[in-house]
Chains A and B, each alone.
Chain A
């Protein structure tokens, strides 16, 4: 055990050190290889070449890793989506045609739109409210860590947690789900929450909101703390109310971060499947694209063509978000 700990430590240090050394050394080498010294013409040419190469030294590892681990699978997926279930024969667009005609697929699209409309907005809203409000409390850090907790709980743990909330026992029996217990206490009839079509989507969304609000909160409170003291100081002196400070100073200052958080959660929502998988596995009309894809990928040996086609649809769904982000980035750059 001890030797394992020691070697683990060594490996960790070496691993992290190697990554840091890469950046340091490549930059040194670039500076040494194309020095500023020498005649003016050569020096300025070196300067330009350096300016051209350096971004790629900075970006190099990231681009390489992304290319191998993400771009290559994306291309593989794209190709697979035109092949049959064993990736053996070319089937043209038939996987896509199947998808359009599949009731489960259409249901997933509908549900995904619901999720996209509700979850990112709710998470960002709650995250912002909590970040702003706790910022001014002596027990703010404590409150934040409690809201953060759901993020840290592994998903298997979370599924048990929500079992104890949504659980249903017959009418008149002792309820072990807190929701039905409350309903029964006030004289209502217990419900099988996860089996009520349409509304059950929202009961599942609550789980993701519960988990992801911590994410929004942490990122937003980091941004809030980046607002220069002087800005708020000045507003206070001008006699602005708390409400005005929030809307006129804070929100505009961290608007970029709010957009970032919203974008991130939107994309995460597209990817989320474990909540649906463990709570209902898409039954009672709760299917979402990611879970549908997961099912076609692994269940009973899977069908790589169909799952790839669904994955491609998922990836296409982010296009509007990408375009919006590019626009935003370009505007930022213009101001530069």
Chain B
């Protein structure tokens, strides 16, 4: 029986809990929902109307263009240009006009007299008939007309298509995984050993070391890039190997993630019941056995939760990858490749929103698969009396 059920039984009304969680979750999801909906919208619509209006059919003012001289036909005494102003876009024309300031001057289906014997009618399906008593000239053909168009909600996959078929996306996906998996596993391993030593082994300078670790969390990453890259270049030249390698970036990510990992894991491991470890010691187990056989399995929730974060920090990182792995096409990580899809001046909201969801998939997958390790009761059997 879960704590939840028990608590529910003892009084807190379930409904209130449900509602509160629902409200909080709704608040949290709303911004993401906005960008999710936006990622399916046409790029020109994004900056014209709010994403929440995307579901309702709306009436918009648009500009269309009548045909040119090449479409002119003579029908008895009058000259006619006809066609369809919607040009295959969906929707229904409600009204039209010939001036941008008055786009709804005439109802659809009626005939507008534009003077000089020129008349224009536009039907609701967009079909138009533009007539004149004198032959049209370059001056009055190809003219702009303005339409009030009722459009049903339109969603498009084109943003995703652009992102997924972008150059080198597949390659960069593999690169990202190659960077992220070891850069998640290695720091956890290293940090877990260090955390154990800091909490259950006694040696001189333990507290000081712990303090140093806490302090190092604050070191701004940008500060270390230049000295480190210089070091990498020197080591690279010395050993005669390239300075920008996967091993290099793993170590960098490992080191940048370490202070937090050690700090979080230590605080978990130090809280493990003393009795278990003492009794194992009494039974003659060494520290290595205690760590691998008892502490590691018991720390699974903490390890899993840190793994989730380290993975997504590495996955979403651009700067460290660019500096330590390089900016060349074949080495780009996913964030880099998605970034390259944006123009030189950025601002392609549609690409940004679609790529946000492409790159979120893997971290979410990691979250879901590791979430089941955040289980209760690992300690239950092993503690006598709490």
Contact = CB atoms under 8 A, between A and B. Distances in A.
State yes or no: do A and B come from one complex: yes
Interface of A: 1, 4-5, 8, 11-12, 15-16, 19-20, 23, 27, 31, 51-52, 54-56, 58-59, 61-63, 65-66, 68-74, 76-77, 126, 129-130, 133-137, 140-141, 143-158, 160-165, 174-178, 181, 210, 213, 215, 218-219, 221-233, 236, 239-243, 245, 256-257, 259-260, 263-264, 267-268, 270-271, 290, 293-294, 297-298, 307-308, 311, 314-315, 317-319, 321-323, 325-326, 329-330, 332-333, 336
Given A145-B364, A145-B371, A165-B34, A55 B170 contact: no
Contacts of A137: 4, 17-18, 21
A68 B364 contact: no
Contacts of B212: 66, 71
A314 B220 contact: yes
Contact of B227 (A73, A165, A218): A73
A222 B306 CA distance: 10
Contacts of A176: 46-51
B2 A175 contact: no
A325 B71 CA distance: 81
Given A153-B356, A231-B386, A62 B191 contact: yes
Contacts of A224: 3, 376
B25 interface: yes
B296 to A, nearest CB: 11
Contact of B271 (A218, A256, A294): A256
Contacts of B308: 218
Contacts of B264: 219, 260, 264
Contact of A314 (B203, B218, B262, B374): B218
B360 interface: yes
Nearest to A141: B371
Contacts of A222: 268, 301-302, 304-305, 374
- Interface of B, helix, strand, loop or mixed by DSSP: helix
Given A51-B201, A135-B3, A322-B215, 8 more contacts: A68-B228, A69-B255, A143-B21, A174-B49, A218-B305, A225-B374, A259-B267, A314-B220
Interface in B348-372: 349, 352-353, 355-357, 359-360, 363-364, 367-368, 371
Interface string B220-231: 111110011001
Interface string B145-185: 00000000000000000000000001100110110011001
A66 B255 contact: yes
Q: Among the interface residues A137, A162, A242, A263, which one has the most CB atoms of the partner chain B within 10 A?
A: A242
B4 A160 contact: no
B207 A330 contact: yes
Contacts of A240: 10
Given A73-B227, A144-B371, A270-B218, A11 B246 contact: yes
A156 B339 contact: yes
Contact of B255 (A27, A65, A336): A65
Nearest to B312: A152
Given A77-B223, A137-B18, A11 B193 contact: no
Contacts of A130: 21, 24-25
Given A68-B231, A329-B207, A58 B254 contact: no
Contacts of B352: 156-157, 160
12 contacts: A8-B177, A12-B181, A62-B193, A66-B212, A136-B8, A146-B25, A152-B363, A160-B38, A210-B31, A239-B10, A242-B10, A242-B11
Contacts of B217: 264, 267-268, 318
B378 interface: yes
Contacts of A307: 223
A218 B309 CA distance: 9
B185 A16 contact: yes
A163 B224 contact: no
Given A174-B48, A330-B207, A245 B7 contact: yes
A273 to B, nearest CB: 8
Contact of A133 (B21, B181, B301, B380): B21
Contacts of B286: 31
